[in-house]
Amino acid sequence: MRESINISLPSKPEYVSIARLTASFVANQMGFDIETIEDIKLAVGEACNNAILHSGSEETYKLEFINHSDSLIIEVVDHGKGFSVDNVKAPNAEDLQENGLGLFIMKSLMDTVEIESNEGSGTKIIMSKIVE
Amino acid sequence: MALRLNTNYNENAKSWEIELIGEVDINSKALLKDELIQLNEKKQSDFVFKCENLEYIDSTGLGVLISFYKNVKLNNKTVHFEKLKPSILKIFTLTGLDRIFSIRN
């Protein structure tokens, strides 16, 4: 079985909660436990933040939630300016920075996270979580 | 759900108490940041964040807290967090913030 839900949102902070609510709803329907639903919600929020921070406010970005047998696959695609994935480091408690935490959080909470980003052509984040 | 803040200066403890209610995210972080800067200008002291009703915080919200913490530390003051929900505590631990902030649960 493979079913998907697609939404397109303006690249503006005030709409991110729609993506998070959708994530919670889909994860709940698929039978994830409460703790995992919170994790998925945060990972989706971070992916949306990333899309917004790297694209202009006149643009939109797309989310796709795919229910594929026992896993939830989430794709977040923007057409912003992209960024260099290699520059992202794990946070260091001695020297905490405001930036770079989002990707780290996504990678920590999801089972898999793939990021395709090219400067100038936007970013695609694909992440997945298996229902235990 | 948006973010609501209740702030109060506790004369006995000589600290600002800030109750965070709702969500600190990319949409509400500016509200939090502006309020914290204002309070710190009004009176430099320790800060206590009451997090019983904090439902969600993301990296942008944590970013505000990190840079604010750096400012407060310059004045030799501290930042405490009280009653974090398990889902929020998990994020503090994951990002190593539990080692720099004082957390009283």
B63 touches chain A (CB under 8 A): yes
pLDDT at A92: 59
Report the CATH number that the domain containing residue B87 is assigned in CATH: 3.30.750.24
Write the CA distances from A114 to A20, A47, A71, B38, integer angstroms: 19, 11, 15, 40
User: From the candidates A38, A57, A95, which should be mutated to test the interface with B, based on the most B CB atoms within 10 A?
Assistant: A38
Q: What is the pLDDT of residues A42-66, one digit of tens each?
A: 999 999 999 998 877 678 999 999 9
Domain boundaries, chain A: 2-130
**ipTM for the whole predicted complex goes beyond 0.95:** no
What is the number of structural domains in chain B?
Answer: 1
**Contact present, B22 and B2 (Cβ < 8 Å):** yes
Nearest to A98 among B25, B66, B96 (CB): B66
Whole-number Å distance between alpha carbons of A3 and B10:
54
Task: Name the residue range of residue B53's domain.
Answer: 3-104
Reported pTM? 0.91
A87: left (phi over 0), alpha (psi -120 to 50) or beta: alpha
Residues of B in contact with A42 (CB under 8 A): 56, 58, 91
**A15 φ/ψ angles, rounded to the nearest 5 degrees:** -105, -5
Helix (H, G, I), strand (E, B) or coil at A120: coil
Q: Along the 105 residues of chain B, how does pLDDT read in single tens digits? A: 699 999 999 999 999 999 999 999 999 999 999 999 999 999 999 999 999 999 999 999 999 999 999 999 998 999 999 999 999 999 999 999 999 899 987
Give the CATH H-level superfamily of domain A2-130.
Histidine kinase-like ATPase, C-terminal domain (3.30.565.10)
d(CA B105, CA B103): 6
Place of tokens 């709409």: A15
